[in-house]
Amino acid sequence: MKKENSTMRILPVMLGFFIMGFCDLVGISVTYAKEQFSWSDSQAGFLPSMVFIWFFILSVPTAIIMGKIGRKNTVLISMLFTVLGMIAPLISFDTYSCYIAFALLGIGNTILQVSLNPLLSNIIKGDKLTSSLTAGQFIKAISSFVGPLVAGFCSLSLGNWTYMFPIYALVTAISAAWLLFTNIDESKTIEKSSSLWETLKLLGDTKVRLLFFGILCVVGLDVGMNVLTPKLLVERVLDITKESAGYGSSWYFAARTLGTLAGAFLLAKVSERKYFRVNMLIAFCGVAGLYFANSQFLILSLVCIVAFTSSSIFAVIYSMALKANPKHGNEISGLMITGVSGGAIVPPLMGISADSLGGQSGSVLIVMVCVIYLLYCSYGVKVDMK
């Protein structure tokens, strides 16, 4: 009976990881919105910023608030913002409401990412927690994978890609209602939250500072590739439709999902430093190839290579940061989550570069800068690692 109750409590929490993947809708949405509103690459590049800038602004404040109102209530608040973001396009959908919708989605996703993992630890204890967190990330990857498929289905079969928004609003509302009526004991997990100043002071440590920018770059690489893939296909593959190009993002996330599973196995066999270096060298070659690729097969193959090799690097850098300053684990964790705001910085730079150079080759160059910095981190940051 106890095992059954535990299973019923974990299911709505695991569904939250599916909602966590909604932030990756911005990748395929850039392709559709750019055409619908006749945006330039620079304008389109700011749409991901509406999602990911909130990780810089809200991560630490969310952790402070969570210590006062509880983890479950914080997750429920995140889902409220997500629902608001998903129904906003139904009221009015133009350039400004599109930005507002994804800003609300970003606020909800930031709050969710800060609070959902700790909430899971209230249900799962000990050795099983790591496997449960891994399962949650796998569910998030599935959500990212199906996003472009849902958008393509709504565009081709229902006549408008924006019909995906009420579908995701409904899924979020169901998850929130399920969690609301689920009893989760938080009485033994009240903690003192770190202040913003205590967290930012850690940037004075050279290793932590370099790794923080590593997080910015790896998230920027991830979001940048998500945005770049369909746009690159549209630009370089003759007669490809935007729906077919959008499925390129699904190829990216499928390879990323496989890379995460492979990374979990390989990191148990080889050192994190060696894994980091080898994967970044391969990713460098993949991105370099994208600069010249002009066929659908070659572009998708190189995209999958980059996705596969970069999929576990966030976890590696996160681990390196904790080992660089183990006495301030909570503050390091908050700082690394703040670094997810790299997803707000890289896409606008890609858009500006693409407009300046007259094509997506400019975007590829910005992605290459991220890979070069990560390659530097893999060799240049000396941390005592197993």
Give the CA radius of gyration of the chain: 20
Most confident of the ranges 49-53, 57-61, 167-171: 167-171
Tell me which residue has tokens 């790591």.
130
Please give the pLDDT value at position 73. Answer: 93
DSSP structure class, residue 342: H
Task: Provide the residue type at 126 as one letter.
Answer: G
Q: Does domain 2-183+192-380 have CATH number 1.20.1250.20?
A: yes
pLDDT tens-place string over residues 204-239: 888 889 999 999 999 999 989 988 998 899 898 878
Tell me which residue has tokens 């952790």.
63
Contact between 176 and 112 under an 8 Å Cβ cutoff? The reply is no
| Sequential DSSP letters for 131-142 | HHHHHHHHHHHH
Per-domain residue ranges of the chain: 2-183+192-380
pLDDT tens-place string over residues 18-33: 999 988 888 788 888 8
Is it the case that residue 80 has pLDDT exceeding 90? yes
List CB contacts of 23: < 8 A, sequence separation 6 or more: 51, 52, 105, 106, 109, 343
* Alpha helices (runs of H) in the chain, residue ranges in sequence order: 2-20, 25-36, 41-45, 47-69, 71-91, 95-121, 128-157, 164-180, 196-200, 206-236, 242-266, 272-292, 296-310, 313-324, 329-338, 342-357, 361-380
Is it the case that residue 1 has pLDDT exceeding 90? no
Q: Give the length of the chain.
A: 386
Is it the case that residue 92 has pLDDT exceeding 50? yes
Report angle CA 267, 136, 319 to the nearest 5 degrees: 35
Please give the pLDDT value at position 4. Answer: 46
- CA distances to 54, 58, 108 from 102, rounded to whole Å, are 11, 15, 10
> How confident is the model over 40-48, as a mean pLDDT?
84
pLDDT tens-place string over residues 105-151: 999 999 998 888 778 777 876 556 545 666 777 788 888 888 888 98
131/182: higher pLDDT:
182
Helical packing angle, 206-236 and 342-357, nearest 10°: 50
pLDDT tens-place string over residues 285-310: 999 999 999 899 999 999 999 999 99
pLDDT tens-place string over residues 315-372: 788 778 877 877 766 677 678 878 888 888 898 999 899 999 988 999 999 999 999 9
Spatial distance between the Cα atoms of 348 and 228, rounded to a whole number of angstroms: 12
Please give the pLDDT value at position 344. Answer: 84
Is it the case that residue 180 has pLDDT exceeding 50? yes
Model confidence at 253, pLDDT cuts 50, 70, 90, reads confident
Tell me which residue has tokens 């790299």.
342
Contact between 55 and 343 under an 8 Å Cβ cutoff? The reply is yes
- Rounded to the nearest integer, the mean pLDDT of the chain is 85
pLDDT tens-place string over residues 115-124: 887 787 778 7
Tell me which residue has tokens 């630009």.
235
pTM of the shown model: 0.76
Please give the pLDDT value at position 386. Answer: 47
Is it the case that residue 267 has pLDDT exceeding 50? yes
Spatial distance between the Cα atoms of 86 and 344, rounded to a whole number of angstroms: 20
